[in-house]
Amino acid sequence: MVVRRAATAVLLAAAAAVPPAAFGSPVRINEHLTAADLDSWRKTAQDTLQAGPELRSLSDADHALRILTNLDAGAEEFGHIWCGAAAVGMHGGQGLSSIYHGIQVAEALGCGIPDSLSTVARDLVAQGLYGTKLEGLYYAALVSQKKGSPPLDLVKRVAVLVESSGLVAGDDTPDSLPTQDNAYPAAELLALLAELAPADSAARADAAHALANIASLLPSSAATAASDALLLHPLTSTPAAAAATAPALERGGAALLRAAAAQLLSLRRCGGDAAAAWRVHAALRALAARADAPLAVAFAPPSVSAGALRSGGGGAAAGLSVRTLLGAEPSDVAGIVVRSLRPHGTKAGEENLLGGPVVAAAAAASGTGVWTAKGLESVAPGRYIAEVSIARGDGAQEETVSAPLVVTGAASVAAVRFAVNGEDVRGGRAKAGARDRLSVAFALEGDVAAPQQCSVRLRHAASGLSTYYSAQRSGGGARPGEYAATVDLSKEAAQLQHRSGDYDLALLAPWAVLSVGWPMPIGDMVLPAGVEVPVGAVHMEFEQPKPQEWPLYVRTLLHESDVTLVALPEKHHTFREPDRRAPAPLGILFAALVCAPLALFVLALRRLGVRPERPSGGVWGVAYQACIGAVLALFVLYWASLTMVVALQALLPLVAVTAFVGRKALVGLDAPRESPQE
C-alpha cells in the first residue's frame, strides 16, 4: 500500500509538471491474448497434425507440436500418424530441412531417434555446413547441434553469409533492411551459436556483434514491421543473445516494444498456418517476459453511460482493465492515473476535459485486473481518448498509454410528424403515388451530443428491400434538435425499383449518442446499439416503366444480371417441334408417280417391238455397264446412309475405273464397223 501511494504521488507530480501539449500519441495496445486466441491456435495445431503427412509437411507438424507444447496440450494421440513420416525425414531422402524437422517431431512424440544419422543424411549435413547458402547452413547447424555440437567456426561463416545476403553491414552502421525470410533463421542460428561458444571466445563476440547489428535495424520500415516484431523471439531466445541485443532494444525504448506488441497482436489470427501461429506466440512470450514489456490497457466495458458516471457508485464508474500481453494480471502495477480525456479526433494536448488527474482505485478482488476511475462525473456523452499513466514496480518506472472510451447518454425520439404532400398522416397508414412527396420530422431529446444527421428507412414489406435517406438537422448548437427528411417519389421511383406495395417507415439514430438495449458486436469492438423508432406504413403505387430497346452491343450482354439487386426470373427454353412427316400412303403415292414414267417407257418399248439385245462391245461392254450400275448404287447408298466424305472417297477410284473400261468398250464397238471398209 505504501508503494502504491508513493507511485501515485509520483504520477500526480508528473501529470502536474508536464504540460498537456507534451503528451505524445503512443501506439495503443488495448487488446491482449485471450482464451479464444489460444483455443484457435490449439485447434490449428490439432487440425494440422490430424491432416497427416499426405496434406501437411514435417515443418507444419513440427510447429504444430511446438504450439501444443507451449499450451501444455498433449499430442501423444498423433504419434501413429507422424512417427513413420518422421523416420523417413530423418533418413535424408526429402532434403536437409526434413532431417531437422523429422528429429523435432520424433522428439516431441517420443517416436525414437537413431543414434547416428544415415549416410545420405550425413552427406547432406556436410554439404550444408560448408555450402554457400544460408538456409542450408541453418538446417545443417541445427542438425549438428542435435547430434553433438556444431563447429564454432560457423559463427564467422554465418556472419559473412548474413552480410553477403544484404542483411546487415560489415560495420556498426547498418545499410540495409532485414526481411522475415533471411533475418529470422540468421538470428536464430546466431543465438544458438552464441550460447554454445565459450564466454570469452572470439566466436561468441562475433555472434553477439552480428545479433546486435540485426537488433539495431529495428524498427526498419512500415513494410517490414510485422517481420521485425517476429524477430524479438530469436533475438532474446538465449541468455547470450538477450545480453547482446539488450543495448539496441533499450535504445528503441518503449515505443519500439509497443509497436512490436501491436504488430504481434494484429498477427494473432493466422488463418490455419501453424508456423505463423508458433512464431507469433513465441515472440509474444519473449516480449511479455521482459521487465519493461508493455501492458494492454482498455476501459472495461469500452462504453459507459453518462448516468452511471454521475452516480459514481461502485462498479458503475469507468473501469480500467490492465493485463499483460498474454492476458494475465500484472503483479507490478503500483498505481494508475488518468491524466487527460480528449474528444476523439483531436490531437494529444489540444483539449483536456478533466479538471485534474483522476486516480484509479485498485480492484477489490484479485485476478480481475480492473481499476475503477470515479472522477469522470462531468463527462458528457461522446467518444473520447484517455491518456493513462501506469506506475510499475516501486513507482520509478512510468508508462503512458492511450485508451478509447465511449460515453453514452439516454435519448428519446419525440414529436414525430409524418406527412404526405404536406398533410399529416393519422393512424400511421397512408397512400402515395409516384408524384407525391413524403416528409418526416422528429426531435431528439436527452443529455446526448447532437449527431449531424439521422436516417429514415423505407423498407418494402414483401421483398425486404431497404432504402435509406438522410434526415438533416435544423439549427445549430451542441444540443439535440429537430431533424427532417423529404422523399420525392417522382425522383426516387427508380431507386425504389418501381416496387408497388406496402412500405414500413422507421427512424434510425446513430449508436454514438444513444444507449438502448444490449451492446452489439461490431468486428473486434463492442459498441452500444443504436435506436430504431417505427413511424408507420405507407402504400405506394408505381407505374412500371416501359422496357427500353437498346441497339445491339450498346450495353454488354450481361448488363441486366450485373446491375440487378434481386433475383432475375428464370428463363425456360422452348425448342421448336420437329416438322411433321407426310402419312405413309401419301408417300407411297408420290413414289409411284415418280416411277410411273419408267413403267410407261418400258410398256412403250414392248408395243413397238423393241427387244433388248446382248450388250455389244464384248467383255468391256459388260464391264462398263457394271461400272455404271456401281455408280448408281453408290448414289443410292449415299442418300440412304453414307456421308459425303465416304461417298466421295469411294466415287473417285470408281470414276477412274469407269472411264478406263468405257474407253475399252468404245474401242471394241468401233472395230467391227471399220473391218468391211478395209
CA gap 624, 207 in Å, rounded: 104
pLDDT at 317: 65
pLDDT at 653: 92
Tell me the residue type at 277.
Answer: A
- Cα distances from 589 to residues 250, 436, 556, 581, 584, in angstroms, run 111, 74, 55, 14, 9
pLDDT at 365: 46
Residue 325 has pLDDT above 80, yes or no: yes
pLDDT at 173: 36
pLDDT at 394: 61
- Give φ, ψ of 265 to 5 degrees: -65, -30
Nearest Cα to 14, choosing from 325, 298, 398? Answer: 398
3-state SS string over 354-393? CCCCEEEECCCCCCCCEEEECCCCCCCCEEEEEEEEEEEC
pLDDT at 448: 62
Per DSSP, helices labelled H in 267-354 are: 274-288, 306-311
CA gap 61, 333 in Å, rounded: 39
**Average pLDDT of 266-291?**
83
Residue 196 has pLDDT above 80, yes or no: no
pLDDT at 177: 37
Residue 60 has pLDDT above 60, yes or no: yes
Torsion sign over Cα 171, 174, 178, 184: positive
Residue 367 has pLDDT above 80, yes or no: no
Residue 34 has pLDDT above 80, yes or no: yes
Tell me the CA end-to-end span of the chain in Å, nearest whole number: 155
pLDDT at 613: 64
- Looking at every residue in the chain, the average pLDDT score rounds to 76
Residue % of the chain over a pLDDT of 90? 3
152 in Cβ contact with 197 (< 8 Å): yes
Residue 323 has pLDDT above 70, yes or no: yes
Tell me the residue type at 158.
Answer: V
Residue 301 has pLDDT above 60, yes or no: yes
Residue 130 has pLDDT above 80, yes or no: no
Span 603-629, pLDDT tens digits: 888 888 776 666 666 788 888 889 998
Tell me the residue type at 64.
Answer: A
Least confident of 167-181, 219-233, 282-296, 491-505: 167-181
**Average pLDDT of 442-451?**
70
Span 647-672, pLDDT tens digits: 899 999 999 999 999 888 888 777 65
CA gap 1, 432 in Å, rounded: 72
Indicate the pLDDT class of residue 128, thresholds 50, 70 and 90. Answer: confident
- Cα distances from 646 to residues 626, 636, 637, 653, 658, in angstroms, run 21, 13, 10, 12, 18
Span 87-107, pLDDT tens digits: 888 888 788 888 888 888 888
Q: Is 345 helix (H, G, I), strand (E, B) or coil?
A: coil
**Average pLDDT of 335-356?**
77
CA gap 425, 421 in Å, rounded: 10
Residue 483 has pLDDT above 90, yes or no: no
Indicate the pLDDT class of residue 410, thresholds 50, 70 and 90. Answer: low
| DSSP category for residue 567 | P
**Strand stretches in 466-581, DSSP E:** 466-474, 482-488, 501-509, 520-522, 525-527, 531-541
pLDDT at 503: 92
pTM of the model: 0.60
Indicate the pLDDT class of residue 522, thresholds 50, 70 and 90. Answer: very low
pLDDT at 330: 82
pLDDT at 604: 86
Residue 169 has pLDDT above 50, yes or no: no
Residue 134: which residues within 8 A CB-CB, separation 6 or more?
Answer: 158, 161, 162, 165, 182, 185, 186
Nearest Cα to 626, choosing from 660, 601, 668? Answer: 660
